[in-house]
Amino acid sequence: MDKYQALPMSYLPVTSIRQDMEGIKGIILLLCIGLNNANLAPTISRVVYEFCEDVPVGEVAFIIEASDPENDALRFAIFGDNSPYFEVVISTGEVKVKTLLERDTDGFTSLRISVAVTDGTTEVQRDLTLLLKDANDNAPLFDLISYDESVPEVSPLEGSSLFSISSSTGEVKLTGQLDFKSKSPSYRLKITATDTTVRQVTAFDQDTGVNDVITYSIQDSTAEGLFKISSDNGIISVASDINRETVGDIVTLTVKAQESELDVNGNIASATTTVQITILDVNDETPKFYNCGDTGDTCEPATDFSGEILEHSPMPIDIQMTVDDLDKNPQTELILEGEDKDVFSVEPQLAMSKSSVRLAVKQPQNLDFEKKQQMFVTVIARDSDKPTFSSIAQVTIKIIDDNDNSPTFQNDTYSFSLPEHSPAGTLLETITANDPDTMDKGKLKYRLLPDSILSYFDVNPDTGDVFVKDGDLLDREARSLYSATLEARDTEDKPGTTVLEITLTDINDKPPVFNRVSYQLFVNEGDELEQEIEATDGDEPDTPNSQIVYEILQSTYSDYFIIDSDTGLLRNRGELDREALAANLNGIVELEVKATDKGTPALSATIPVVINIADVNDNQPEFLDTSYNFTVLEGERGALVGIVHALDSDQSKEFNLISFTIKEGSGNFIIRRADAKQGYMGNITVDPGIELDYESKDKQFTLQVEAADLDQKAAEVTVLVEVLDVNDERPEFISIDPVNMKETTTAGGVEAVGAFEGYDQDTNHSLVFELVSVQCKCNNSLGPCDWFFVEPTGEVHVSPKITVDYEKCVQATVEAQVVDLFTEKGENNSATTGKMVINIEDINDNAPEFIYSDAVFTVALPLLVLVALLCPVLVTSHLHPVGSHPYGPASSVPGSTPGQTREMVEPVSIKARIGILSKLHCRTTQKLDATLRGTYLVTVTATDNGGLSSSTVLEVFNIDEDSRVELTFALSLTEFNEKKAEITRALIAATKTDVQIASVEEAKDQQSRATVRTNIGAYFVHSNGTTLTQKQVVSMVSNEDNYAVLTKLGLVNIGGDPEEEIEVDVVKYIMVGIIAGLVIVLTVLITSLMCTRRTYSRKLKASKAMNSASMIASDNQKGGAVVPGTNKYTMEGANPVLNLNIDTTLALDMDSESSDTDKVSLNSLDEMTFPEKSSYSNMQKIQEEDEDSEPPGYIEPLGAALAQMDKKKSTNNPLIGWSNPAFNTTDL
């Protein structure tokens, strides 16, 4: 037999496959080695399979996935410990369930089996893993079969029928009518607060792999409404007040645990349990009968009961009777009476508590529907302890036909169409079932399954009318098809079902919906706007209900835009101009777009569309006026002239920002921009650094003001600025010529001497004049006086009580200031004062006066004529000093002849005047007698043109000719005359005498030939008439100070030939002094050389100076007389020892050219005469050639030489030396 041959159950035992495989293993291996074309083994591609536990027996659980490379036919086999649960189809690999698998009972979650696959030549084995999925095939299971609990009742007291209390809030309410007379005036209520939790019931899903959610509910209760249960956790709690006398001792609850998902049969699995709650109370009530109805939930007191029983049925009859003795632990006897009491018996006969009473059939044969359709019995309930406590109930037993049929529907499926959102109560259809049993006629009950459909639809349980329960939930767009099961049950609860398929049709209930909350669009003005506004409609597509029409709602700027009604494309109607919009919108246009569907009634929605129109600089600024005229007061720096306004129509700040510029006429004005309510304003002000002046030529300015935006788009306007006058100019004087007035003989004066004139550039002014000072020129000097005063009008008058006297003052200067009373700004007086020069004219009211002089008048005999030296006399003139004074003849009286008068002197009138003085010169008219000695008295008379005269007597001393002193000056005659006055003053200062120059003559120097000299003869006379000798004059002039002054003026000699003693003495003393000075200098030099380290740089400097000096030409030497025994000294060159400038080209001894000069110098020294160039003025200053300082000045050359040694020690002393050609220290 083939090892893979199918068994009757398509099953191969694993053991036979193994044995056969072992026997042929070697053969197959040899065959594979020996064949060139070896057979390839099959491949098992999958080893893990998954299937549910509820796969029926005989159904395929899974198919083994295997393949062969040569596509050979495969055969399959399974084996292993778990293989008995399955069977395999050899040819297809289908594995079927052989024994039903219970995952929850057997504990299987996964199985392992082995599989073998062969292609007829090669066999492959692998282990498979089978995962068993749990199926929802077990109902929930409570942890207990039933539950018992006890709850204390609430004992009703008096008045409890009048009051009620909320079990949850504790609120006590009045439930009846209070009557003070007929009822108790007071009530005592006992309120007990207890925990409402009674018990928790727990159920679990036996399908551990599913572990479905369990919900709890109370299916039945013997006391309706007393208890409730939590659907989530199964906690039973008290729901209302409990009264044992009302509800009984025990309240029985039927609790249902239900899974949330359908089980494998398509039903909702559930389980129930009973919870009994005992209520305890006292035994004090009469037994009573209650009708608790079909369900037993509600019991009402009753005396008539009925029951039904199938014919010939031995089953007890439920007459819905309950007997209850409200006493605690009652014992109630039940007794059956009546005509048919023998057919039945009552159960129970003794009730210990509230008990259901039923009738047991003792004689079923008597229950014959055809004979008797109903029977009657009486049930008596009596308290065994108190027989008097009893109740009677009548029971009617109806015999009914037997019910052996279930309800059926005409169709298995009913289909309906219903518009969505149909209102509640809308009837879909009336569907009824048919039951042939007579007892079920009209008694069928209908309901819809599952319970979830009851939110949408429901059925009338009696009529089978299927209707809409909640139309708001019927939304086609959410769910368009509903499926429900309609169930009909007869009186025996036999069911019959049919399927209802309800399709919702569309209505226009969905308004269009925009895909955005709003649209924010941006576009530049002038550009094209295109934006598609999109909306969708949830109603059925391609129907009018979902077709949308777009429109723009009317608004201020809605006409600027259009929208395609079909596509929603929004565009601008014309060119967008932001300036056409209100400025406060800031370029934002708000539109409202409406989308409306075509349904009936039409539904619509709107959306705001905000369009931001960006500004473009497409407008240039414009001035609000075509021109501007402003005025401004002069002199106000930074004053506001006026404001120009300009506006740029562009709305954005970036483009409407305006800058102002003064294109023309901006020299005196500036303009600044400022914000305005509309546009900008340009504040034109005067430049803070400039003051406008009305008095200048510019009283009006024409400005060209430009307003430009950022892109330099500009507009111009003309601004005319007129300068207004402000009284800010100081008044000024008009120049006036000097005025003349004659001196007065009486005080004061009526007429004005003159008048000041002033002017003011301001147009509005009032000038007054004020006196500042009066200066009078008296005795050639100005000083204050009070001769004149000034009226406010500017007229100048002579002060009262003042006499103007020419002889005191010849001129007056009146100084005044002018004041502007209307000045508004600045100083109100003139910047400079006005001056009036008043020349006082003389009148002939004074005789001439001689002015005393301390001059000494002398005459040297014998003289023929004394010119300009005899008797100079000053005479004051009280007349205007023009012309000459007439003088009378002068007479002289010789001192030897007192009283003798002769006409020997005549006056000479000189027209030249000195100030207001006239100078008189006298001369002799005849030769004086030389033998006469003494003093001449000369009488001089002065007479003016008015005939007034005066006289004076002059003393003229007669001096000896021997007292004449000769002086020689190295000056030409012309030069001497120019310096004559200065020379005379110098001689007077040196000799302290009156110097009378008697003669002046020019002479040539015989030795120098070319030298021009002037010789003068002079008398040096004391005030007493005595004279100085030549020797005395020389002694006084030789004083160092006097000598320096006179030699500077050219004095070279005094007297005639030099005296021997003077020459010897002078030279000797000079030489002694020079030798002594030289010894001192040498001592200092030697000491300095020994103590001071001379640097190389100093020696180099001296060497460079020597080299420089050697290059100087010899023609630079100076000429002139020198001191005997010395070399001629020059400025050029330098002595490296003394650091003095010398001419190094000269020999140390006298050169040939200097011999004549030396000789002349020797002679001149003996004669106390000096060469032409040897005056003090010719002594030359030599400045040290040092860049930092100058040597100090020295008269003595030796001192200068010594000073040169220390010139570097101080920077404060100027390095100055004196070069005297008459003495050269180099010779030392």
Q: How far is CA 520 from the centre of its chain?
A: 30
Q: Measured between alpha carbons, how far is 1083 from 1200 in angstroms, rounded to an integer?
A: 16
Residue 221's DSSP bridge partners are 253
Does 8 sit behind a cis peptide bond, omega within 30 degrees of 0 on the bond before it?
Answer: no
The 10s digit of each residue's pLDDT in 229-247 is 998 888 988 888 777 777 7
CB atoms within 10 A of CB 877: 23
Q: Could you tell me which of 681, 674, 690 has the C-alpha nearest to residue 628?
A: 681
The 10s digit of each residue's pLDDT in 852-901 is 666 666 666 544 333 333 455 555 544 333 333 444 444 444 433 444 45
> Strand 994-1004 relative to strand 965-969: parallel, antiparallel, unpaired?
unpaired
Q: Is the pLDDT of residue 1061 over 60?
A: no
Residue 466's DSSP bridge partners are 429, 459
Residue 344's DSSP bridge partners are 361
Q: How far is CA 5 from the centre of its chain?
A: 98
Mean pLDDT lowest for which of 169-178, 908-917, 951-960?
908-917
The 10s digit of each residue's pLDDT in 752-782 is 889 999 888 777 788 999 999 999 999 888 8
Say which residues have a Cβ less than 8 Å from residue 1212's Cβ, sequence separation at least 6: 1189
Helix (H) or strand (E) holding 796: strand 795-798
Q: Measured between alpha carbons, how far is 1113 from 1132 in angstroms, rounded to an integer?
A: 9
Q: Measured between alpha carbons, how far is 919 from 939 in angstroms, rounded to an integer?
A: 16
pLDDT confidence of residue 633: 87
Burial 488-503 (b: 16+ CB within 10 A, else e): bbbbeebebebebebe
Q: How far is CA 560 from CA 231, 571, 618, in A?
A: 64, 9, 19
With helix as H, strand as E and coil as C, how does 279-303 read? Answer: CCCCCCCCCEEEECCCCCCCCEECC
Q: Measured between alpha carbons, how far is 953 from 941 in angstroms, rounded to an integer?
A: 9
Q: How far is CA 1046 from CA 581, 965, 1028, 1051, 1054, in A?
A: 108, 15, 18, 5, 11
Q: Measured between alpha carbons, how far is 289 from 299 in angstroms, rounded to an integer?
A: 9
Q: Could you tell me which of 764, 689, 759, 690 has the C-alpha nearest to residue 724?
A: 764
Q: Is the pLDDT of residue 1169 over 80?
A: no
The 10s digit of each residue's pLDDT in 504-533 is 988 888 899 998 899 999 999 888 999 999
What is the band of 114 on the pLDDT scale with cuts at 50, 70, 90? Answer: very high
The 10s digit of each residue's pLDDT in 1083-1104 is 888 887 776 655 555 666 666 7
Token code pair at residue 115: 């599989």
Residue 1027's DSSP bridge partners are 1021
Token code pair at residue 219: 């299916």
pTM of the complete model: 0.31
Q: Could you tell me which of 477, 590, 491, 496 has the C-alpha nearest to residue 536?
A: 477
What is the band of 259 on the pLDDT scale with cuts at 50, 70, 90? Answer: confident
Compute the Cα dihedral for 424, 427, 428, 434 and give only its sign: positive
pLDDT confidence of residue 1209: 40
pLDDT confidence of residue 724: 86
pLDDT confidence of residue 497: 94
Q: Measured between alpha carbons, how far is 1183 from 441 in angstroms, rounded to an integer?
A: 165
Whether the Cβ atoms of residue 1114 and residue 1076 lie closer than 8 Å to each other: no
Q: Measured between alpha carbons, how far is 597 from 541 in angstroms, rounded to an integer?
A: 12
Here the contacts of 4-7 (C-beta below 8 Å, separation 24 or greater) are 4/75, 4/76, 4/77, 4/90, 4/118, 5/90, 6/90, 6/91
Q: Which residue type does 450 have?
A: P
Q: Is the pLDDT of residue 296 over 90?
A: no
Q: Is the pLDDT of residue 477 over 70?
A: yes
Q: How far is CA 533 from CA 560, 604, 672, in A?
A: 17, 14, 49
Say which residues have a Cβ less than 8 Å from residue 186's Cβ, sequence separation at least 6: none
Q: Is the pLDDT of residue 1074 over 80?
A: yes
The one-character DSSP state at 699 is: -
Q: Measured between alpha carbons, how far is 965 from 983 in angstroms, rounded to an integer?
A: 15
Q: Is the pLDDT of residue 33 over 80?
A: no
Token code pair at residue 628: 């501007």
pLDDT confidence of residue 34: 41
379-383, 689-693, 864-868 — most confident range? 379-383
Whether the Cβ atoms of residue 1178 and residue 1221 lie closer than 8 Å to each other: yes
Mean pLDDT of 112-128: 91
What is the band of 1215 on the pLDDT scale with cuts at 50, 70, 90? Answer: very low
> Strand 834-841 relative to strand 857-860: parallel, antiparallel, unpaired?
unpaired
Q: How far is CA 376 from CA 307, 342, 380, 393, in A?
A: 10, 11, 13, 11
pLDDT confidence of residue 481: 93
Question: Residue 812 class from Cβ within 10 Å (0-12 exposed, 13-18 middle, 19+ buried)?
Answer: buried
Q: Which residue type does 1193 have?
A: G
Does 541 sit behind a cis peptide bond, omega within 30 degrees of 0 on the bond before it?
Answer: no
Burial 696-728 (b: 16+ CB within 10 A, else e): eeeeebebebbbbbeeebbbebebebebebbbb
Q: Measured between alpha carbons, how far is 385 from 1020 in angstroms, rounded to an integer?
A: 198
The C-alpha angle 705, 711, 712, rounded to 5 degrees, equals 25
Token code pair at residue 720: 């005319």
pLDDT confidence of residue 310: 84
Q: What is the DSSP code string of 960-978?
A: -GGG-EEEEESS-HHHHHH
What is the band of 1 on the pLDDT scale with cuts at 50, 70, 90? Answer: very low
The one-character DSSP state at 1114 is: G
Indicate the SS3 state at residue 1040. Answer: helix
Look up tokens 């609790």; give the residue: 255
The C-alpha angle 366, 369, 370, rounded to 5 degrees, equals 100
For the chain, the 3-state helix, strand and coil shares in percent, each to the nearest 5, are 15, 40, 50
Q: Measured between alpha carbons, how far is 805 from 777 in angstroms, rounded to an integer?
A: 11
pLDDT confidence of residue 185: 57
Percent of the chain at pLDDT > 90 equals 21
Q: How far is CA 469 from CA 389, 422, 428, 448, 453, in A?
A: 52, 9, 11, 12, 10
Q: How far is CA 1025 from CA 760, 955, 1035, in A?
A: 69, 10, 20
